[in-house]
Amino acid sequence: MIGSANEVMNLAAKAARGGGAPVAQAYAFGRAAACHLIANRPAADLSAALDALPKGPILDLPLLLMACAEARQNEAEIPAGPLPDLTLSYAQSQSFACTATRSGSQITLSQTFDQPAAQLPVKRVTLPDALAARMQTLAAGLLVPETEASRRAGAGAGLTDND
Amino acid sequence: MKDEVIPPHVPLRPPDEVMRLARMGSMFPTRLSFLRSMIRRLARENAQITRPVWNMDEGGFGHAVYSLRFGGHEYSLVAISTDLPPELRTDRVIATAWDSAYVLYDGVPDANEIARIVAAAPKQEAARFSERDLVLSRANKSVRLFAHVVQALQDGQQPDEKMIRDVGYLMRTTAVYGNGKFGIADRALIADRPGLEGPFAAEMLTVWLIRHFTHDLVEHVGGGQLAPHIKRHLGIGNSTGLGMAPFLVTHPVLLNNWMMARETALARVRAIETLTKAQQDRLADLSHRAAKHLAEWDVPDPSHQARIVTLRADWQSILSDLKFDGTRPLDKAMEQAARYSFDVQELMAALVIEPFAELVDGLCDCMADPQGPFCPPLSDTEALRAAIRDHFNWALVPDYDAETGCGQFWYVSEAKQEPRLGLRFSEPGAELESPLDIGRQIKALNAALPEQSQPVSAFLAAFPQHAMAVDRVQLGAVHPYAEIRDNLIATSCLPIDMLRCKLSFFGASKFDPKSDRWTRITLCQGAPLADELNAAADDWWLPVFAP
């Protein structure tokens, strides 16, 4: 699937929610997933993170980075962990300016807490079809069949639309 | 660097007063509304609309392309008109065919691109689009009015003015998609382009161009020209349901910026010490225009019609006492309005802002959200507790365990993946609830905070389910108007109030609620036509027919 960054971000977030992640962590994963694919990092990392739910990096990585931010250290080192590229993507998708570079088993963060992250527009994001299908399946777990009452009350309901 | 002088202002109305659903559900469009600011910009640039392609048969079916240069870029509306059997015409989101479909295109499309869009746009959600496609939309005819106007023009006459006034549009959109949906361009790709920086700017440009197309289409089929005053009163309708409501909750910084701009505008005009005679006369004219607008606003729903009737009477009553002389006259006007309903108060707020372009128009530049949900993180749970105490007391009050305190739940429908609202105790699906229960989540977070302060990360390691509430508290501490300060899952929650708030920021008027979950509205009514983009183009607040 080739789509917009917003589409990929939302799909990844919904997939994480459908896989059992709490809402905030799911949306952090969505942002990181878009960043990850834009940077041409391995899509397998995203699959692995989804596979690990309801535990794993989708819950752990935001906490790791939050702990760094709480320490208010402009320069910090964190372990690269088992999915180092995904750790980089999480670091680079924070709301404040943060650059991250990997050196072996460590990632060095350079953080500016009072400066928002630059939003770099991208034209297209490629999400491998197999991962897209997996995400869609997980996301579908959040959908609820409409009731007749809901249908009766929805926009456009109950009127002749030819008026 | 240019020195900026911030105009004096009275204290802003506090969020606890402003961010209540009942008040938000009484809002009117203002000169800060996105359509207004978009059209001011078009007029400033003297934008010229051309129609390089008009490929329509006698019945008005085919396609057209409109192009303009705006903010240094070329944009085009590709419009496709389809012969839709009446039995397929529905405003429901589950529809699969429409009278017309549209794409706002980045540039001027060549024949291949036009062919691609003509094939894809009528399929809407079922098709895929490219990064050159900025906005995707569709609209259905008001068959009753469209047919009448065609017949009148074919008879060499102008259409019945009462019918024009009563319906107010030839077509109504049932969706206007932006920001990456179905593969169209991300907003980030165009967000820094001159003229498109504002919220929903590309969507507003699309809607205004669609309106222009509907005029051309009816004149083409009818074989005659509409009188300008009739054409100007023909806006573009819109049917809006629950799909729009969660946006205000899921975009708290944007909501804050919209409300903050509006409240700042109001606070600035309330601080004006005295008004010139010309300003007083202008306010008097506008207040009478508002009365006439109310007189022309009728809806079929009895309860909403009763509300309009009450507003008409209250407005006349307050007008009889209203003076714009003396000191701080607009502050006094707002104080007078405070004795009346929210409807009167919010109409008065929109009125007093209207004449003061130089004081308020610059605030339009503050209504976007270029930084996203950026805010300083709170370091420990004691800071969280303090922020909840200072900014979220409203969330701690409701009893969310009571049946009436949690009687509804938001969810996403399987059929069209659209937001819906269910009844918790009589409908299935509450276990898949969407997280619009902000107040309940804040209260739960507050209850879970430990006695002894600890880092937020340590707290969330033990209680990951509270991370979203932590995010909202952090945002709320620096964005005072970010939250709707009501219980959005209470049995008493009326989503129509959220819709009206958002639509008033778009510039919608003539709200025509069909239930507490969806409404029809009119956009661009009274707005300048494509050949009227001049210095006088901005005077269409609360339009009236043939003023």
**Which pLDDT tens digit goes with each residue over B187-222?**
999 999 999 999 999 999 999 999 999 999 999 999
**Which pLDDT tens digit goes with each residue over B391-433?**
999 999 999 999 999 999 999 999 878 899 999 999 999 999 9
Closest residue to B457, CB basis, from A66, A96, A144:
A66
Residues 6+ apart with CB under 8 A from A55: none
Which among B371, B367, B380 is positioned nearest to B474, based on CA atoms? B380
Closest residue to A154, CB basis, from B182, B372, B517:
B517
A74 — contact with chain B (CB < 8 Å)? no
Q: Which pTM does this prediction carry?
A: 0.96
Q: Which residue of A has its CA nearest to B515?
A: A153
A118 — contact with chain B (CB < 8 Å)? no
CB contact under 8 A, B456 and A70: yes
Q: How far is the CA of A91 from the CAs of A17, A94, A111, B413, in angstroms?
A: 20, 6, 9, 33
3-state secondary structure B90-144: CCCCCCCCCCEEEEEEECCCCHHHHHHHHHHHHHHHHCCCCCCEEEEEEEEECHH
User: Looking at residue B429, what is its pLDDT?
Assistant: 94
Q: Which helix (H) or strand (E) holds A67?
A: helix A57-70
A44 — contact with chain B (CB < 8 Å)? no
B316-333 mean pLDDT: 95
A124 — contact with chain B (CB < 8 Å)? yes
User: Looking at residue A162, what is its pLDDT?
Assistant: 54
- Find chain A residues with C-beta within 8 A of B185's C-beta: 4, 123
CB contact under 8 A, B187 and A6: yes
Q: Are residues B230 and B314 in contact, defined by beta-carbon separation less than 8 angstroms?
A: no
Query: In angstroms, rounded to a whole number, what is the distance separating the alpha carbons of residues B113 and B116?
Result: 5
Closest residue to B179, CB basis, from A6, A146, A157:
A6
Size of interface A-B (CB pairs under 8 A): 176
Residues 6+ apart with CB under 8 A from B48: B68, B69
pLDDT by 10s per residue, chain A, length 163: 999 999 999 999 999 999 999 999 999 999 999 999 999 999 999 999 999 999 999 999 999 999 999 988 899 999 999 999 999 999 999 999 999 999 999 999 999 998 999 877 898 999 999 999 999 999 999 999 877 777 666 655 555 555 5
- Find chain A residues with C-beta within 8 A of B434's C-beta: 142
Nearest chain A Cα distance for residue B212, angstroms: 21
Which among B314, B71, B78 is positioned nearest to B213, based on CA atoms? B78
- Find chain A residues with C-beta within 8 A of B377's C-beta: 66, 69-70, 113
CB contact under 8 A, B92 and A5: no
Query: In angstroms, rounded to a whole number, what is the distance separating the alpha carbons of residues B124 and B182?
Result: 8
A155 — contact with chain B (CB < 8 Å)? yes
Q: Which residue of B has its CA nearest to A23?
A: B468
A75 — contact with chain B (CB < 8 Å)? no
Torsion of CA B79, B82, B88, B92, to 10 degrees: 0
Helix (H, G, I), strand (E, B) or coil at B347: helix
CB contact under 8 A, A114 and B376: yes
Retrieve residue B313's tokens: 């009477």
Q: How far is the CA of A134 from the CAs of A13, A137, B127, B129, in angstroms?
A: 13, 5, 20, 22
Nearest chain B Cα distance for residue A29, angstroms: 13
- Find chain A residues with C-beta within 8 A of B458's C-beta: 67
CB contact under 8 A, A66 and B374: no
Q: Are residues B35 and B506 in contact, defined by beta-carbon separation less than 8 angstroms?
A: yes
| Lowest-confidence region among A22-36, B452-466, B530-544 | B530-544
Q: For residue B546, what pLDDT band results from cuts at 50, 70 and 90?
A: low
Residue B380's DSSP bridge partners are B455
Query: In angstroms, rounded to a whole number, what is the distance separating the alpha carbons of residues B108 and B78?
Result: 10
Q: For residue B547, what pLDDT band results from cuts at 50, 70 and 90?
A: very low
Please report the ipTM that was assigned to this predicted complex: 0.94
Query: In angstroms, rounded to a whole number, what is the distance separating the alpha carbons of residues B461 and B455?
Result: 10
| Lowest-confidence region among B140-149, B379-388, B519-528, B529-538 | B529-538
Quick one: B391 exposed, middle or buried, by C-beta within 10 A (0-12, 13-18, 19+)? Answer: buried
Query: What is the strand order of the sheet B50-56 is part of?
Result: B50-56, B62-70, B73-81, B100-106, B133-141, B169-177, B235-240, B519-523, B509-513
Retrieve residue B289's tokens: 């225009």
Closest residue to B435, CB basis, from A23, A69, A123:
A23
CB contact under 8 A, B371 and A157: no
Query: In angstroms, rounded to a whole number, what is the distance separating the alpha carbons of residues B266 and B272?
Result: 10
Q: Are residues B234 and B214 in contact, defined by beta-carbon separation less than 8 angstroms?
A: yes
